[in-house]
Amino acid sequence: MPLLSRHTSRALPPLTAALLALGACTAGQPPVPPLPPLQQAPTLTIADTDLVQKLNEMDLTRIALAKIAQTNAARSDIATLGATMVKDLTGNQDRLAKLVSAHAITLAPKPSAANQKIIDRMQHLHGAAFDRAYIRYLSRDDARMKPVLESGITSSKNADLTKLATDTKTLLAAYEAQLK
């Protein structure tokens, strides 16, 4: 019996210390902190949705016309501008699609019937006739879109949409300056 108690007395302190250490680890843990709330995309108002649709329509029509300008224009500056517009406005379309992806908004995949008629008519023009019609269309569309963009910039509470409208306004001004 003395041998058994000597082994027990040597094993008991380390075992006790290990049990106390494990007990201390589990007893004093603080509760898990709550997760921060998810950031939701700012909602789009009816006016914002209207601006999104008008930007989409403008981009689709101008992209189609700019592609035509690359081949049908007589002036090289108009053909070059067409290539620039295709690149810029396709990027605009990507930003617009990303913006509305968080909302229940569907963008039209192609231009409206009225704008498709303009595109179809412009496809049949070449040279100087195309140049005149294209410049006339762009100046009329710029005049129509400027107040829409200004209104969207001042009234929208969505920072991403305001930035997109401001960038689009800057692009349109740059295109207009290149055509003069």
Complete domains list, the chain, with CATH: 46-179 (1.20.1260.10)
What are the structure tokens assigned to 91, written together? 């990027």
* pLDDT, mean of residues 92-101: 93
Mean model confidence pLDDT for the chain: 87
57-70 residue pLDDT tens: 999 999 999 999 99
Q: What is the pLDDT of residue 83?
A: 95
Contact 143, 135 (CB under 8 A): no
* pLDDT, mean of residues 16-43: 68
* pLDDT, mean of residues 137-156: 94
What are the structure tokens assigned to 59, written together? 């981009």
Q: Is 160 helix (H, G, I), strand (E, B) or coil?
A: helix
Question: Is a pLDDT exceeding 70 seen at residue 178?
Answer: yes
Question: Is a pLDDT exceeding 90 seen at residue 131?
Answer: yes
In this structure, which long-range contacts are made by residues 170-177, counting pairs with CB atoms below 8 Å and at least 24 apart in sequence? 171/88, 171/89, 171/92, 172/142, 172/145, 172/146, 175/81, 175/84, 175/85, 175/138, 175/142, 176/138, 176/139, 176/142
* pLDDT, mean of residues 73-94: 95
